[in-house]
Amino acid sequence: GPKPLVIAIDGPAASGKSSTAQWVAQLLNVHHVDSGAFYRAITLLALGTGVAPELWTSQAVLAEAHRITWRLTERSVLPLVDGAEHDEAMRDAPVTRQVSRVAQMAAVRHWVNDQVRAAGAATDVVVDGRDIGTAVFPTAALKVFLVADPWERARRRLIQRLGRRPNDAEIAEETEALVARDALDAAQSAPARDAITIDTTTVTQEEQVERIVALAKATRDRIRGH
């Protein structure tokens, strides 16, 4: 068949990458790959070693990597730990606090990139993550870079986490944590030169999804020659 289609969605924390990618993938009927989930899975295993995070080495972290596999479900590429889903533990605060540390390790990035590229070679994908359009799939057919004001990103993240409208003090605290993680992740968070930037601060998720789907369909028609 034709070479798999890769659509890359990058952007900072809580810019809407993974929920948007998931929705876009569904509308295009292709698989969604959440690259951050691989960083979270390996971080979960590193926490399980009991070694203090300050003492983690890429070698020790990668010694756990053989326990992570992935499965192609109907809709997505799912990382499994010891053959099972660990979605809740992967989204928990202990993993979120340490994941950037693990994501700084070049050897870990190399390993995650290999997993994600293998998935993208197997099937048409919408992939989201910090560096997907730059380091992982520099030749992706379409690259989208989502941005939004830190305050708005913090507000969205809290609604997601708390299931209610946060107050200003809560948003202020979350904004601080987000900005700190942005700084830690800065090295792998620049947009690709050929990325299309979408500021979602005042855009509904539905609107941004529609826009990306339209871009993706035009891209698919162009490269598949329809």
Q: Which residues are annotated as a binding site?
A: 11-19
CB of 182 to ligand CDP, least distance (A): 9
Cβ nearer to ligand CDP, comparing 30 with 44: 44
Cβ nearer to ligand CDP, comparing 5 with 154: 154
Out of 56, 68, 86, 129, the only residue in the binding site for ligand CDP (CB under 6 A) is 129
Cβ nearer to ligand CDP, comparing 175 with 208: 208
| CB proximity list for 128: less than 8 A, separation 6 or greater | 8, 9, 10, 17, 18, 20, 21, 32, 33, 34, 35, 36
Cβ nearer to ligand CDP, comparing 177 with 225: 177
Write each residue from 55 to 94 as x if it is in contact with ligand CDP (CB under 6 A), else as -, in one continuous string.
----------------------------------------
| Residue 192 DSSP symbol | P
Residue 190 contacts ligand CDP per CB under 6 A: no
Residue 131 contacts ligand CDP per CB under 6 A: yes
Interface size with ligand CDP, residues (CB under 6 A) = 31
User: Which ranges constitute the DSSP H helices of the chain?
Assistant: 17-28, 35-48, 58-62, 87-91, 93-103, 106-122, 150-162, 168-185, 205-224
Q: How far apart are CA 221 and CA 72, in angstroms?
A: 25
CB of 222 to ligand CDP, least distance (A): 26
Residue 15 contacts ligand CDP per CB under 6 A: yes
Residue 11 contacts ligand CDP per CB under 6 A: yes
List of long-range contacts for 99-103, beta carbons under 8 Å, 24+ apart: 99/36, 99/39, 99/40, 99/43, 100/181, 100/184, 100/185, 101/43, 101/53, 101/56, 102/39, 102/42, 102/43, 102/46, 102/56, 102/61, 103/39, 103/130, 103/185, 103/188
Binding-site ranges for ligand CDP (CB under 6 A): 11, 13-20, 35-36, 39-40, 99-100, 103, 129-132, 156-157, 160, 181, 185, 188, 200, 203-205, 208
